[in-house]
């Protein structure tokens, strides 16, 4: 399925991205409440499942808090105009409350401080997120020095690595491993992988001891 994450902390459920598989992913978790969604960027594979917040609207009787940058907000308004319609709004449309964020300002979600990290996805700025000693970075190609400084002292890193070849907007495996070596987190899970990455058992044998390939349904605990 498409790359996404669910952070469970302090009794709250916080999703990162809501792509085309959002509904299936949420059903698989078995959770009955979603407290917020953080969006990394406006590409289809990270936002197009937004309509499926409706069951949480109905069940939890609340607008869904969505945290995103101004460009993402603009894109959401265009692709989901019916959600943000102010006149003659369809009664069953999803209920969403936008919270605008930027790379320059940490913010709080359900009592958890979040540090945004600007990543360059080719020429497009996107956001990664740091929660305590855990960071989630997807769709990365380059990171500026000042943003790298926000990633010191990580226990756990989730980092995208598309495949083995050079790519204009994603790290390949070699580049991702160099970044892991530079940041030196306690452990790293690789995500956003293409089918061209190869077989799990074969690629895993070539990875450093503290680096593993992610997979659908992967769960782990961060101290």
Please give the span between the terminal C-alpha atoms of the chain, in angstroms, as a whole number: 27
Q: What is the pLDDT of residues 90-143, one digit of tens each?
A: 989 999 999 999 999 999 999 999 999 999 999 999 999 999 999 999 999 999
pLDDT of residue 33 exceeding 90 = yes
Q: What is the pLDDT of residues 157-176, one digit of tens each?
A: 999 999 999 999 999 999 99
Q: What are phi and psi of 20, to 5 degrees?
A: -60, -25
Nearest to 6 by CA among 155, 99, 134, 118: 134
Q: What are phi and psi of 102, to 5 degrees?
A: -150, 170
* pLDDT at site 103: 97
Q: What is the DSSP string of 155-193?
A: SEEEEE---SS--SSS--HHHHHHHHHHH--SEEEEES-
CA–CA separation, 15 vs 19, rounded Å? 11
Model pTM score: 0.96
């Amino acid at each position: 399925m498409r790359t996404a994450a669910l952070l469970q902390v302090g009794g709250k459920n916080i999703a990162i991205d809501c792509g085309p598989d959002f509904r299936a992913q949420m059903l698989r978790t078995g959770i009955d409440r979603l407290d917020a969604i953080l969006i990394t960027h406006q590409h289809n594979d990270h936002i197009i499942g937004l309509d499926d917040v409706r069951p949480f609207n109905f069940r939890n009787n609340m607008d869904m808090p969505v945290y995103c940058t101004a460009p993402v907000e603009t894109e959401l308004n265009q692709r989901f105009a019916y959600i943000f319609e102010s006149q003659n709004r369809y009664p069953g449309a999803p209920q969403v409350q936008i919270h605008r964020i930027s790379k320059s300002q940490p913010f709080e979600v359900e009592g958890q401080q979040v540090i945004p990290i600007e990543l360059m996805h080719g020429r497009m700025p996107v956001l990664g997120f740091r929660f305590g000693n855990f960071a989630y970075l997807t769709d990365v190609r380059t990171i500026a020095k000042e943003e790298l400084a926000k990633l010191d002292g990580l226990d756990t890193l989730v980092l995208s690595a598309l495949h083995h070849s050079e790519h204009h907007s994603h790290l390949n495996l070699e580049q991702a491993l160099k970044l892991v070596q530079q940041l030196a987190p306690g452990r790293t899970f690789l995500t956003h992988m293409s089918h061209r990455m190869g077989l799990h058992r074969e690629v895993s044998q070539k990875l450093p001891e503290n680096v593993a390939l992610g997979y659908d349904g992967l769960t782990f605990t961060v101290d």
